[in-house]
């Protein structure tokens, strides 16, 4: 049996307004752009810290999401659930779908992109390199066009691999940088330094029941560009 949980996130800063799924094993939050998934060098409160405040006990981050992006992020409430989900990621049974608002249109409305990526520690970027390059990792994603406007194209992206900055680097490589992503070639940053990359959904087997669960997160409300394209 499959079920889908849709969120009704509003613009409140209350952590409870960001929670879109919860039970004894798991917690899912619709991360706002600009929020760090876990504590970093800045003094801002991370989503992990907010999740622990909400749950009133330590939780475990299951996967990451770039700070300037938005969307669903999953936490395990205990080590057994974390181990189960880590195994699902290893076995590639977890499905993660993203929405990306990009400049230009891909040559084909849908397709598969395969590149080799290498992280540049000095620039904190993923670079497209030749196959066989030392420390390079294969990156694969599927995409399809959902809608088009005069200025932007909305793509749905499903990851096959989960590499550092993968979507951002691969879409830029085909001439379709994500809106606001100056690191990967978009001309202007967004006023809030966000990028229009949104983790739309995550699907996995519940660690206890085995039921297939899909959790969906809506794009940030109040953003006129998202509102005009979704």
pLDDT in tens, 188-224: 999 999 999 999 999 999 999 999 999 999 999 888 8
Distance CA 166, CA 98 (A): 12
pTM, to two decimals: 0.90
Residue 155 belongs to domain spanning: 2-229
**How many domains in the chain?**
1
- Give the containing element (helix H, strand E) for 98: strand 95-103
Confidence (pLDDT) at 8: 35
Percent of all residues in the chain with a pLDDT value above 90, rounded to a whole number: 82
Least confident of 33-47, 61-75, 154-168, 176-190: 33-47
Q: Which residues contact 167 (CB under 8 A, 6 or more apart)?
A: 98, 100, 141, 157, 159, 178, 197
230 or 153: which leads in pLDDT: 153
Q: Which residues contact 190 (CB under 8 A, 6 or more apart)?
A: 179, 180, 196
- Residue 66 is a catalytic residue: yes
Q: Across the chain, what does the average pLDDT equal?
A: 91
Instruction: Give the confidence band of 1 by pLDDT, cuts at 50, 70, 90.
Output: very low
- For residue 183, CA distances in Å to 42, 109, 121, 137, 204 come to 19, 25, 14, 20, 31
Which token pair is 170? 């691969």
Average pLDDT over residues 41-57: 87
Distance CA 185, CA 206 (A): 39
Specify the CATH number for the domain of residue 111: 3.30.2350.10
The single residue of 7, 66, 181, 223 carrying the catalytic annotation is 66
Average pLDDT over residues 174-188: 97
Q: Which residues contact 216 (CB under 8 A, 6 or more apart)?
A: 4, 5, 6, 7, 20, 72, 200, 201
Which token pair is 188? 């202007």
Per the CB < 8 A criterion, the answer to whether 30 and 198 are in contact is: no
For the stretch 67-123, pLDDT in tens is: 999 999 999 999 999 999 999 999 999 999 999 999 999 999 999 999 999 999 999
């Amino acid at each position: 049996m499959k079920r889908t949980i849709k969120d009704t996130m509003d613009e409140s800063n209350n952590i409870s307004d960001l929670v879109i799924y919860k039970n004894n094993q798991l917690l899912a939050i619709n991360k706002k752009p600009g929020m760090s998934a876990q504590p970093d060098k800045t003094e801002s409160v991370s989503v992990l810290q907010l999740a622990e405040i909400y749950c009133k006990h330590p939780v475990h981050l299951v996967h990451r999401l770039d700070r300037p992006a938005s969307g669903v992020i999953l936490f395990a409430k205990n080590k057994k659930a974390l181990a189960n989900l880590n195994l699902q990621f290893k076995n590639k049974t977890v499905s993660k779908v993203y929405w990306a608002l990009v400049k230009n249109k891909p040559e084909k409305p849908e397709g598969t992109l395969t590149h080799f990526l290498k992280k540049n520690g000095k620039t904190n970027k993923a670079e497209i390199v030749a196959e066989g390059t030392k420390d390079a990792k294969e990156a694969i994603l599927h995409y399809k066009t959902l809608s088009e406007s005069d200025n932007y194209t909305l793509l749905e992206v499903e990851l096959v691999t989960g590499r550092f900055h993968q979507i951002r680097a691969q879409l830029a490589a085909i001439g379709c940088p994500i809106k606001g992503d100056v690191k990967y070639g978009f001309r202007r940053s967004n006023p809030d330094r966000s990028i229009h990359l949104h983790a739309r959904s995550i699907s996995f087997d519940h660690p206890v029941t085995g039921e297939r669960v899909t959790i969906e997160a809506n794009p940030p409300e109040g953003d006129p560009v998202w509102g005009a394209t979704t």
